[in-house]
Structure 1
Amino acid sequence: MRLRNKPGAKDTILNHPELILTDGSDWKGKWQERFGNDQPIHIEVGSGKGQFIVEMAKAHPDVNYIGIEMQTNAIISILEKQLEEQLPNLQLLLVDGADLTDYFADSEVDQVYLNFSDPWPKTRHEKRRLTYKTFLKTYETIAKPEAELHFKTDNQSLFEYSLASVTWYGMTIKKVWLNLHESNFEGNIMTEYEEKFSQKGQPIYRLEAIFNGKKLN
């Protein structure tokens, strides 16, 4: 979905370096210092307009959250929410999710969230899917051994692909939901897309998978 340009977005971003970074490489391996505590670090790759990451930060003040988004018009919406909330456990990164090893040290991240990622349905675009093996390798590199990946989507084909991809990669499937909103799952925080799709009666798919330590290749 194309987002409308917001006048002054770039200036707003540049004026708030305490909340949002366009290059986080200076904090690689030092994110807990930036937060000023030793709480676990959870990241969301592709945060969109930020409802999920903001509400997670509000609900879990004992966790540090980093929302990662490459579209300026999307992340400015998160920044606006954060300017209102001033959550001490939320930071934003305006960077490409493919380059996470430039911004996080090995084993620095405790959990990774992927919510309603672009399905890239054409076979020739498989490598762009955020659950493709090269992305999984990137997440594993920056994640602690036995860290978890949590994934949600309304797209059945992408969900089936992702189940296969994490399995082939050697991750352990912890739990799977084929219709999240009809389950007994507690504490679900919805994204903007999730609200939209669930209101239309579409099932929401979810999985939790565990990285099984560092790979040698």
Structure 2
Amino acid sequence: MRLRKKWWARPEMEASSLVITRPMEYKGKWREEFKNENPIHLELGCGRGGFISKLGEINKNINYVAVDLKDEVLIYVKKKIEELELTNVRVVPLNISFIAEVFEENEVEKIYINFCNPWPKDRHNKRRLTHTRFLTEYKKFLKPGSEIWFKTDDKDLFDASQEYFKEAGFNLEYVTYDLHSSDFKENIMTEYEEKFSSKGMKIMFLIGKLV
């Protein structure tokens, strides 16, 4: 669905201290921004922010950076974290292709990728956020032993992603083709997940750990 342009969104985001519109300037300085030494976790493709705001509310001792491209969705993330008075979440408008320019080596300890575009055509596979090309970029700023948590409803993407993770040097610590029927207890549902699961669709989930 095409998003209607919200011309007012960018000025409103630029006026907020919770939105980082020039993230490359913060490379190596994120702990200064959060004013603490807490771990930094990253969500790539945060949508309207339901997931990241729940995380931020539950885990006050973790700093979160929520990344997406469109101001039209990020403005809702900003509003959510303001309503919840969360000081441990920052919003970053960014094309994820440039993510390695935003964080220094060993600066991030966990990445969440939820229901990203599956890019089903072979010629578009390299655009997948779980593709080996992207995973190699993430390794530039992930600490050794860091994890990537990945959820999708697309089986082809899920099958291919398992191979991508192995190729990129990640161990598959957990894999399930039916998350909601599994023994995994730490799941927090996204807006998409609630919608898909209500229709009886199975959610697939894996944890890749950087060796």
Structures share a fold, TM > 0.5? yes
Instruction: Report the alpha carbon displacement of residue 7 of structure 1 after superposing the two structures with TM.
Output: 5.1
Summarize the alignment of residues 30-109 of structure 1 with structure 2, pairs less than 5 Å apart. Answer: 30-109=29-108
Instruction: Report the alpha carbon displacement of residue 11 of structure 1 after superposing the two structures with TM.
Output: 1.5
2:124 alignment counterpart: 125
Structure-2 separation of matches of 1:34 and 1:188:
28
Q: For 1:44-89, what per-residue CA distance to the aligned partner results, in whole angstroms no more than 9, with x for missing partners?
A: 0111111111101111111100001111111111011112112011
Structure-2 separation of matches of 1:169 and 1:192:
29
Structure-2 separation of matches of 1:192 and 1:202:
14
Amino acid at match of 2:44: V
Task: State the identity %.
Answer: 39
Summarize the alignment of residues 58-207 of structure 1 with structure 2, pairs less than 5 Å apart. Answer: 58-207=57-206
SS of residue paired to 2:112: strand
Amino acid at match of 2:111: V
Instruction: Report the alpha carbon displacement of residue 184 of structure 1 after superposing the two structures with TM.
Output: 2.5
Amino acid at match of 2:128: R
SS of residue paired to 1:141: coil
Structure-2 separation of matches of 1:58 and 1:4:
29
Amino acid at match of 2:201: Q
**How many aligned residue pairs are there?**
211
Amino acid at match of 1:64: N
Structure-2 separation of matches of 1:140 and 1:98:
13
**C-alpha contact 2:6 2:71 (8 A) present in aligned 1:** no
**C-alpha contact 2:18 2:78 (8 A) present in aligned 1:** yes
Amino acid at match of 2:188: I
Q: For 1:164-186, what per-residue CA distance to the aligned partner results, in whole angstroms no more than 9, with x for missing partners?
A: 11012221010011101112221
Instruction: Report the alpha carbon displacement of residue 30 of structure 1 after superposing the two structures with TM.
Output: 1.1
Which 4+ residue blocks in structure 1 deviate beyond 4 angstroms? none
SS of residue paired to 2:140: helix
1:13 alignment counterpart: 13
Structure-2 separation of matches of 1:93 and 1:57:
15
Structure-2 separation of matches of 1:136 and 1:205:
19
Task: Provide the TM-score with structure 1 as the length reference.
Answer: 0.94
Structure-1 separation of matches of 2:85 and 2:95:
24
2:3 alignment counterpart: 3
Instruction: Report the alpha carbon displacement of residue 196 of structure 1 after superposing the two structures with TM.
Output: 0.6
Task: Provide the TM-score with structure 2 as the length reference.
Answer: 0.97
Structure-2 separation of matches of 1:2 and 1:23:
25
The runs of 5 or more residues in structure 1 that have no matched partner are 213-217
Structure-1 separation of matches of 2:148 and 2:94:
20
Comparing 4-13 and 124-133, the one that deviates more: 4-13
Q: Does 1:29 align with 2:28?
A: yes
Structure-2 separation of matches of 1:30 and 1:3:
33
Amino acid at match of 2:143: K
Question: What's the Cα RMSD here?
Answer: 1.1
Structure-2 separation of matches of 1:71 and 1:140:
25
The runs of 5 or more residues in structure 2 that have no matched partner are none
Structure-2 separation of matches of 1:110 and 1:47:
17
